[in-house]
A and B are shown apart, each in its own frame.
Chain A
Amino acid sequence: MTRRVAIVGYGCLKIGKYGADVSENEMAIKAIKLALEDAGISRGDVDGLITTPNYLLTLGLQLSVISEHLRVTPRVAAEISCGGIAGGLALKHAINEIMLGYADVVVCYGSVKESIRFKNIAMIEPGMGLEIYDPTVQPYAVAGVIWAYACSGRRYMYEYGATEEHFAVACVRDRDNARHNNWAAFTTPITVDDVLKSPVMCSPLKLLDCSAARDGAAAIILSSEEKAREITDTPIYVAGVGEHHDSSSFIPTDGCDKSITTFVATREAAQRALRMAKISVDDVDVAELYAPFSPQELMLPEDIGWFKKGEMVRAIMDGSTEIGGKIPINTDGGLLSRGHPAMVTPLYETISIVRQLRGEAGKVQVDGAGIGLVHCEGGMLNNCMVFIFKRGD
């Protein structure tokens, strides 16, 4: 790294359903305002503005509206898209621009009202978004993306002896954590039985096994190390970034050899990030994983390397991924309970880790958390990113 980069501020809105009275632009400004206040800097300090797609069909020009509204004149501005990793790529672009010296203080934000477009991250109407699939997949892929994750979950049950109860325990863990998260969408306590009795979406997945598309806005401020030392006593440094795209889209169809229960993109991205950070996976104190459906809550910790394949069937039951366990996961509620504004979710995940590393996480604080990991994905884990963050010395 030519220059170290740190997170020096964050702000976000409660995830939920925002009506017509507030626009995505206004939500963005509110989140950025909170982030500027958290960092204690003025708008004049901002020389980069990076965002994720916001569905407004503004041809990537929402940034212009935001820059005028904020009265900022960034040297670096971009709207970045690549499925669910868009938020991760926005962060990576900010990191790169700062490392290369193009900018010193960058605001990375996302703002979406996804609840009006999607439901349970399935499309509201049959056929919406069909062109994400190969034409041979299109005729029967009626229900958005749930079917693909459901097939992955079913195969995992067969290969490793998992049951629907094991998946449900992951949902309950996330919900228990979300109860202490002020911006989570779903905080009503649930039991394993509630999950098992919720309506079937695509078997073995029921309603409560699925994340729900919701509205949200979040902003993260990154800066060079030099600026970070001026801005804050608690900079959170970017220690590693890994990215990998497998040669596949949703269910891999080009050949029969690829697994749908272990994801090479997650494995590779994690290994790259850990190598860059010069740490082992067991050095990580707390993690946020992008699991839009409950079976992937079991697969991802295995792919990242805390457990061997199949071990999560036991580990989800014995508290290994809860606070106080081997590796606390999704201490903010994860996608399943925090709610899933996909174009902003990686930013919410990062905020969760920043709070842990600053020691601000309250009732879900992991004692002495010094190293945190954020994972995000696009497609069905065909492309993945992993970030390692470290508390400043």
Chain B
Amino acid sequence: MSWPEIVYLQPKITGLTSKFWEGLKNRKLLASKCNDCGERFFPPRGLCPKCLSENIGWVELSGKGRLHSWTEVHYLTPKPYMLGVIDLAEGIGRMVSRIEAKQEELEMDMPMRIDFIDVSDKLTLFIWKPDKLPRP
């Protein structure tokens, strides 16, 4: 999808975590996995938070989660938008993300799923929305 009026800021992407952002371009939500101790973790980091190894690989996540909380941002934005905290279904971490929904459609702990937005030729971002499809 495209969303030309979307308010976003350029994240600071480093070489060690650039795979995560490449994953978004390919419509994949990637988490880091330590090749030495096996720890899966999110947010992506260049060093394993469990064993500090730099031998980090990547695994694809389901892109499902639950809404832990949200706010409608009115400040420093030309147009209000929803910002939420998502508990990833795998239980390994949380994402802070723009939410595509109206405030009245949201409920605490409701199922959510990820979607992707190409904000420029070089950057694809994530966006989460209520998961209304029956769960498999």
Binding site for B on A (CB under 8 A): 120, 122-123, 125-127, 130-131, 133-144, 146-147, 150-152, 154-155, 158, 199-205, 251-256, 260
Residue with the greatest number of chain B CB neighbours at <10 A, chosen from A125, A126, A158, A253: A253
A120-B75, A133-B96, A146-B75 known, 10 other contacts, Cβ within 8 Å? A125-B76, A139-B8, A139-B98, A139-B125, A140-B83, A140-B125, A152-B69, A251-B94, A253-B43, A260-B85
Q: List which B63-98 residues lie within 8 A (CB) of chain A.
A: 68-77, 80-81, 83-85, 87-88, 91-98
- Alpha-carbon gap, A37 to B74, bound state (A): 46
- Alpha-carbon gap, A254 to B45, bound state (A): 11
Shortest beta-carbon distance, B39 to chain A, in Å? 11
Is residue B122 contacting chain A, with contact meaning CB distance below 8 A?
A: no
**If the complex has contacts A134-B43, A135-B43, A253-B94, are A126 and B7 also in contact, measured as CB distance less than 8 A?**
yes
Contacts of B13 in A (CB 8 A): 135
Residue with the greatest number of chain B CB neighbours at <10 A, chosen from A130, A147, A256: A256
Q: Are B93 and A254 in contact (CB under 8 A)?
A: yes
Residue with the greatest number of chain B CB neighbours at <10 A, chosen from A139, A140, A142: A140
Q: Are A155 and B9 in contact (CB under 8 A)?
A: no
Shortest beta-carbon distance, B52 to chain A, in Å? 14
Residue with the greatest number of chain B CB neighbours at <10 A, chosen from A120, A135, A139, A204: A139
- Alpha-carbon gap, A366 to B72, bound state (A): 39
Is residue B108 contacting chain A, with contact meaning CB distance below 8 A?
A: yes
Nearest to B45 among chain A residues (CB) is: A134
Shortest beta-carbon distance, A262 to chain B, in Å? 14
Contacts of A154 in B (CB 8 A): 69-71
Contacts of B93 in A (CB 8 A): 253-256
* Interface Cβ pair total, 8 Å cutoff: 133
Q: Are B94 and A151 in contact (CB under 8 A)?
A: no
Using a Cβ–Cβ cut-off of 8 Å, how many residues does chain B contribute to the interface with A?
43
Q: Are B69 and A151 in contact (CB under 8 A)?
A: yes
Q: Are A138 and B9 in contact (CB under 8 A)?
A: yes
Please list the 3 inter-chain residue pairs (A to B) with the smallest Cβ-Cβ separation, ordered nearest first.
Answer: A150-B71, A151-B69, A256-B87
Shortest beta-carbon distance, A297 to chain B, in Å? 18
- Alpha-carbon gap, A252 to B43, bound state (A): 10
- Alpha-carbon gap, A130 to B96, bound state (A): 14
- Alpha-carbon gap, A94 to B41, bound state (A): 40
Q: Are A122 and B76 in contact (CB under 8 A)?
A: yes
- Alpha-carbon gap, A200 to B74, bound state (A): 6
> Which of A140, A202, A205, A255 is within 8 Å of B96, CB to CB?
A140
Is residue B134 contacting chain A, with contact meaning CB distance below 8 A?
A: no
Q: Are B69 and A199 in contact (CB under 8 A)?
A: no
> Which of B17, B20, B41, B76 is within 8 Å of A142, CB to CB?
B76
Q: Are A143 and B70 in contact (CB under 8 A)?
A: no
Q: Are B96 and A253 in contact (CB under 8 A)?
A: yes
